[in-house]
Copies of this chain bind each other. A is one copy, B any other.
Amino acid sequence: MSKEIGITVSKKDDLSEWYTQVVTKSGLADYASVKGFMVLMPYGYSIWERIREFLDKHLKATGHSNAYFPLLIPESFLRKEAEHFSGFTPEVFWVTSAGNDKLGERLAIRPTSETVIYDSYAKWIRSWRDLPLLINVWNSVLRAEIKMTKPFMRTSEFLWQEGHTVHADKEDTDAEVMAILDLYRRLIEEQLAIPALVGSKTDREKFVGAMYTMTLESMMPDGKALQMGTSHNLGQNFSKAFEIRYLGKDEQTHLAWNSSWGVSWRLIGAVIMLHGDDRGLIMPPRIAPVQVVIVPIPYKKEGVDIASRAKSIADELQGAGINVTLDDRAQYTPGWKFNEWELKGVPVRIEIGPRDVSRQQVTIVRRDTSERSAVPEADVINETKKLLDAVQSALFERASRALREAIHDARTFDDLKRVIETEGGFVRACWCTETGCEDRIKDETGATIRVVPLQDEEVFASCVCCGKTAKKVVYLARAY
């Protein structure tokens, strides 16, 4: 796929333009012809596959199964849970005809699948023996974005997974919600190398129809927070609406409990924005589709067989479980290849030139620091593995430092306003827990409470908004 290579703007100077260029020039994604929609290109899709593999493996190991439910949802289903309906209808794409026939009832393209899934669950569940029911779905959902869209971060259609579970009681549902939250944390921190604040949403910010919502929130370089994943205890709201009942061991009929949870391709947006630099993407090694690229430096002199040396090192690395690409394309120069693979964020590059061959070594270059080192051929596998681990840790450490530096305490409303308007990032503040204060903060600063931390933090001031006694420490920010 031909394209102008190289990012023409600095990340610091114009994050938005930089982001767009990285997304399209690195071959992650492209704009679709329908406004607000995106094409996930092969390189971007292969990152999504790695995220999916990680989650899928862990979900299956903990008793979850995959399934598939219909794309179209009757309007009457959405209306069964009133809050849910009013929350989603402004974003719903409506199907009104099939072929030349007008439909009797409008059908919504799923904005999320609670309603259509719980309609089935009500038929499937009869007894305590059927519980818990732990199902996950990999699909796409559509939510019309009328405001600004941005590839991966905010698009009218996105790929995600949505988990939907049924439990006998609150305790079991709570445990599921927290187990998934922790799985998401491991994905985000350990695979994507992105630190996140973990905790709950306020009632104002929770999922429409949920009893409570747990969330993971990260900070982007422009000072705006990004919601990375959510896990909801839906209480018995949907079970009531869809009549999901079970016969307990006590021979009585009970309303069931539900959880739902999801992460989307937005995670890829966070990886791009957080780790990238002026030369392009930097992929965390654990989710990099290509972990190592080998670029042979051609040499005319006879008797030095660089090509076969490069091939045998590529095979060795592949055999050791490393995803390696040997870039032996004749039509491009080594310099052109360096630029392209840096743009694509491949964490480790191995160069093999005539001097390397004569010394039985290779030259290894780290994408994140550009550090070069000569490594004896015998040590290539070990050194490469070490370097991949080093890049993974360095990215997480750098992002963790940035997160810490992006948190500012505020004791007064003026403080809060000033930080949000000048510095951005998270504001750590105390809150009285009244929704009125949240509304006022949102109206006057554009910031919302992103997360009420999982571990209660000690109240250090009065409510940042009304000045009355505070009950909670919370983290506020403007958000994507």
Interface size class of chain A, counting residues whose CB lies under 8 Å from the partner chain: 35 or more
A173 to chain B, nearest CB (A): 19
In the complex, the answer to whether A99 meets B90 with C-beta atoms within 8 Å is: yes
Q: Which residues of B contact A97 (CB under 8 A)?
A: 93-94, 96
Shortest Cβ distance from residue A438 to the other chain B in the assembled complex, whole angstroms: 25
- Considering only residues 24-48 of chain A, those with a C-beta below 8 Å from chain B are 30, 32-34, 37-42, 44-46, 48
Residues of B within 8 A of A125 (CB): 1-2
Segment touching B, from A126-134, A220-228, A449-457: A126-134
The reply to whether B120 and A39 contact each other, CB–CB distance below 8 Å, is: yes
Contact with B along A90-121 (1 / 0, CB 8 A): 11111111111100000101000000100110
Known: A68-B159, A157-B71. A129 touches B94 (CB 8 A): no
Interface 1/0s, chain A 133-160, versus B by CB < 8 A?
1010001101010100000000001010
Once the chains are docked, how many angstroms separate the CA of A296 from the CA of B90? 55
Residue-wise interface mask of A (44-83) relative to B, using a CB-CB cutoff of 8 A (1 in contact, 0 not): 1110110000000000000001111111111001000000
B116 touches A74 (CB 8 A): no
A126 CB to closest chain B CB (Å) equals 4
**Closest residue of B by beta carbon distance from A92:** B99
Cβ–Cβ contact A93 & B89, under 8 A: no
Q: Please classify the interface of chain A as helix (H, G, I), strand (E, B), loop, or mixed, using the class held by over half of its residues.
A: mixed
Interface centre among A49, A68, A123 (most CB of B within 10 A): A68
Q: Are B98 and A92 in contact (CB under 8 A)?
A: yes
Contact A157 B30 (CB under 8 A): no
Instruction: Check B95–A68 contact: CB distance below 8 A.
Output: no
The smallest C-beta distance from A392 to any residue of chain B, in angstroms, reads 25
Closest to A247 in B: B2
A331 proximity list for chain B (CB < 8 A):
129
Cα distance, A86 to B129, chains bound together (Å): 51
Chain B residues with CB under 8 Å of A2's CB are: 124-127, 129-130
- The residue in chain B whose Cβ has the minimal distance to the Cβ of A134 is B42
